[in-house]
């Protein structure tokens, strides 16, 4: 481990050293294990370092809005109408369906609510009654450490190396079918490291303000 974190090569070596395994199938699976470890972290804590803003347009009568390719989780979605931002409330899909039941046809107007219809699409309600510009502020999935060279680094490998290591060790222990006690130990250490990252990350807890049914607050 370098003084400031792991390179891709160093992380692979550290994982093998910790679990004391250089078995071919395990080594060949390290790329997948590291990606799984990264995903554990990205879905466990919302990091301000991984936020973006994008704008798009929903056409009149179009109740669906596509997500960016690197979308991980929403922070806010706003309609920009006459230079004014109207922030939408995030709702469960069940609410969206009950808001405009199929038997009564579409309810139209300036959208007030949005939900995650599937892994690629938001659903809006009411259905837009005009062409609207939207601004999405979201958490994105950054490039994986495994996408670069062996000497490469990422924000996670540099700034959260312990969390990344234990995320990968937790995944490795499952892959290697270790004793349940060992699996539990690695999982506990990962959760402890993740909690420390949550406490120190910029904007820790911010996402909770934007959960389902919370009032949206304009961002600057």
Q: Taking the mean position of all CA atoms in its chain, how far away is CA 11?
A: 22
Structure confidence at residue 105 (pLDDT): 55
* Backbone phi and psi for residue 69, each to the nearest 5 degrees, phi listed first: -60, -30
- pLDDT, one tens digit per residue, over 35-75 is 999 999 999 998 988 999 999 999 998 889 999 999 999 99
Tokens 């699976």, residue? 29
Check whether 212 has a pLDDT greater than 90. no
Mean pLDDT of 97-119: 78
pTM comes to 0.78
Domain residue limits, the chain: 8-46+143-202, 49-140
On average, the pLDDT of the chain sits at: 87
Structure confidence at residue 208 (pLDDT): 43
How much of the chain, in percent, has pLDDT values that exceed 90?
73
Check whether 162 has a pLDDT greater than 80. yes
Question: Tokens for 88?
Answer: 């939408």
Q: Helices 180-200 & 161-175, crossing angle to 10 degrees?
A: 160
- pLDDT, one tens digit per residue, over 1-32 is 544 799 999 999 999 999 999 999 999 999 99
Alpha carbons 150 and 161: distance in angstroms, whole number: 16
Mean pLDDT of 94-117: 78
């Amino acid at each position: 481990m370098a003084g400031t974190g792991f390179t891709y090569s160093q992380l692979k070596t550290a994982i093998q050293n910790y679990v004391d395994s250089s078995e071919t199938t395990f080594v060949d699976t390290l790329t997948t294990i590291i990606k799984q470890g990264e995903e554990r972290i990205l879905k466990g804590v919302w990091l301000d370092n991984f936020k973006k803003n994008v704008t798009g347009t929903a056409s009149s009568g179009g109740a669906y809005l596509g997500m960016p390719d690197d979308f991980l989780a929403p922070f806010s979605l706003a309609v920009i109408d006459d230079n004014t931002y109207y922030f939408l409330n995030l709702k469960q899909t069940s609410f969206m369906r009950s808001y405009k039941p199929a038997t009564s046809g579409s309810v139209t107007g300036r959208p007030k609510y949005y939900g995650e219809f599937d892994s690629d699409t938001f659903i809006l309600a009411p259905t837009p009654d005009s062409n609207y510009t939207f601004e999405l502020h979201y958490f994105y999935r950054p490039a994986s450490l495994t996408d670069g060279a062996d000497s490469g680094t990422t924000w996670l490998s540099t700034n959260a190396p312990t969390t990344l290591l234990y995320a990968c060790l937790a995944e490795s222990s499952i892959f290697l079918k270790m004793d349940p006690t060992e699996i539990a130990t690695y999982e506990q250490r990962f959760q402890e490291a993740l909690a420390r990252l949550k406490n120190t990350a910029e904007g820790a807890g911010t996402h909770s303000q934007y959960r389902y049914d919370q009032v949206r607050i304009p961002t600057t």
